[in-house]
Amino acid sequence: MKKQISLIGTFIGTVTAVSVLWALPTVVSLIPGQQFESGTVYAAEKKKKPRKVPPLTEKIYKAIAQAQLLIDPDSIPLEEGQERPDVVADPRQAVSDLLEVLNRRKINSYEKAQVWNTLAFAYYTLEDTPNTMKAYENVLKQELISEALELSSLRALFQLYYSQEKYQKSIDYMERWEALRGKTDTQVTFIKATAYYQLENFQKALESILLVERLAIEEGKTIKENWWYFQVVIYNELKDVDNVINVLEKLIVAYPKKQYWMHLAGMYAEKEMEDKSLSAYYAAYSQGMFDKETEVVMLSQRLLNAEVPFEAARILEKGFDEGLIEKNEKNVRLLAMSYTMSQEMGRAIDAWREATTYTDDGELHYRLAQALANEDRHKEATASYREALDRGGLKEGQDSDANFWMGISLMQLKEWDDATAAFRAAAKDKDRAKTARQYIAYIRGEKRRLKALKEMLEA
């Protein structure tokens, strides 16, 4: 079973990667006496002495040409003004005819190679992969064979074995192809890397994919996106977080995609590089890559935790305005907290007040009361504290806190009796008792002082 290559999202399918290299037989010009070749031809880096192969006899040439016409009539190139033959495609008949040719006595090994090459074309047209591979292997068994034909046969075989998930066999044919060609190819080396990956030989896969990058640099080629990301995949398998980060940092410069920014942020977090992790998330957001509520809310929470509350609030407001973020208790509460921490108390009050409309819970009224008191809006704060206590649902200890701070606001309003009652309620909590009693004593003294002052003035 083919191992799935994925890490963030789905990695580019390996079979798809192979398909771009596909080089199965092609039809050549029907010129009598021409040596019959097929497939993609690559010149070796060093000049090699050409192999001497005999020309096709007229009889064999015609048999092959007729077979090609039966396999795919439309593939036959025509001379200018020449009409296309009126032939119905019949690749099965072509197979039968070519097998008969192979049984002739007077046919040399080079002619056999060309017949098997044409048979591979026929079998491939019939979607008969096993016989296609067998035909190419028979091409390679012949003593007389041109280098171009050997290269194209090897290339077709490593692709076919790869498509059948026989990765080691595919690698073997790739190495034979490279050795004959005398030069390494970046794309084929990439396919070899994916084959090693499927075999879970991650070290060999890494060696191959690093060679791809080195070859590309030497040849002045652009490093392809999937080449770099495959390095990320392999380093991840090898648990090499540092190199995952190194490659991702290069990848986002050349190919700044959301999945890479998110992956990089996660890797920074794994290395406890929180500032860099947050910067990566923010960079993705700044480039307009966030299109989900969860992503924007997550970024706002991280900014709030990193003590960048105003930016957290700004991002939330923008999300609300664009309709990306739903206005609900959780999200509006986060906005209110962000404005509170950034000391934007007017906006915080508006947000806390809006948040109270989404729930019957008293806690949000308590938060609103605190924000109002912070702005010396004690009359409103007192009303909100009372609302919080009436609604209930406060966390442990918040009842006494609400009474205590309501007492402070009532003192500011010089509502001494109500303030005393609030402090007495707060004193029921042992953690607040001492301070609450001190305020009660202070109020008692203040009331005596004011009473004496009043009597003095009246006298």
Q: What is the mean pLDDT of residues 390-409?
A: 90
Element (H, E) at 396: none
Q: Tell which wins on pLDDT, 241 or 455.
A: 241
- Give me the helix-helix angle, 147-163 and 129-141, nearest 10°: 150
List pLDDT tens digits, range 289-298: 999 999 999 9
The pair of structure tokens assigned to 294 is 């969860």
Report percent pLDDT > 90 for the chain.
72
Q: Where exactly are the structural domains of the chain?
A: 8-183
Considering the entire predicted model, what is its pTM? 0.76
Supply the pLDDT for residue 260. 96
Among the listed ranges 20-34, 51-65, 89-103, 358-372, which one has the minimum average pLDDT value?
20-34
Supply the pLDDT for residue 48. 65
Reported confidence tier of residue 54, pLDDT bands at 50, 70, 90: confident
Supply the pLDDT for residue 16. 35
Supply the pLDDT for residue 44. 40
Q: What is the mean pLDDT of residues 424-442?
A: 91
For residue 256, pLDDT beyond 70:
yes
Report percent pLDDT > 70 for the chain.
87
For residue 52, pLDDT beyond 60:
yes
Which fold would CATH assign to domain 8-183? 1.25.40
Q: What is the mean pLDDT of residues 96-101?
A: 93
For residue 29, pLDDT beyond 60:
no
Q: What is the largest CA-CA distance in the chain?
A: 145
Supply the pLDDT for residue 21. 35
Supply the pLDDT for residue 451. 79
Q: What is the mean pLDDT of residues 20-31?
A: 35
Among the listed ranges 168-177, 199-208, 323-332, 428-437, which one has the minimum average pLDDT value?
428-437
Reported confidence tier of residue 79, pLDDT bands at 50, 70, 90: low
Distance in angstroms (rounded) separating the CA atoms of residues 324 and 337: 20
List pLDDT tens digits, range 260-271: 999 999 999 999
- Give me the helix-helix angle, 129-141 and 109-125, nearest 10°: 170
Contacts 24+ apart (CB under 8 A), 373-376: 373/405, 373/408, 373/409, 374/345, 375/345, 375/346, 375/349, 376/412
Distance in angstroms (rounded) separating the CA atoms of residues 40 and 151: 8
Distance in angstroms (rounded) separating the CA atoms of residues 141 and 147: 13
Q: What letter would DSSP give residue 13?
A: P
For residue 45, pLDDT beyond 80:
no
Question: Cβ atoms within 10 A of the Cβ of 137, count?
Answer: 14
Among the listed ranges 39-53, 181-195, 344-358, 406-420, which one has the minimum average pLDDT value?
39-53
Reported confidence tier of residue 31, pLDDT bands at 50, 70, 90: very low
> For the chain, what is the mean pLDDT?
87
Reported confidence tier of residue 220, pLDDT bands at 50, 70, 90: very high
Q: What letter would DSSP give residue 392?
A: -
Q: Which residues lie below 8 Å from residue 248, measured CB to CB, with a gap of 6+?
A: 232, 260, 263, 264, 267
Reported confidence tier of residue 185, pLDDT bands at 50, 70, 90: very high
With b for 16 or more beta-carbon neighbours within 10 A and e for fewer, the 375-384 pattern comes to eebbebbbbb
What's the chain's length in residues?
A: 459
For residue 41, pLDDT beyond 80:
no
Supply the pLDDT for residue 459. 66
For residue 362, pLDDT beyond 70:
yes
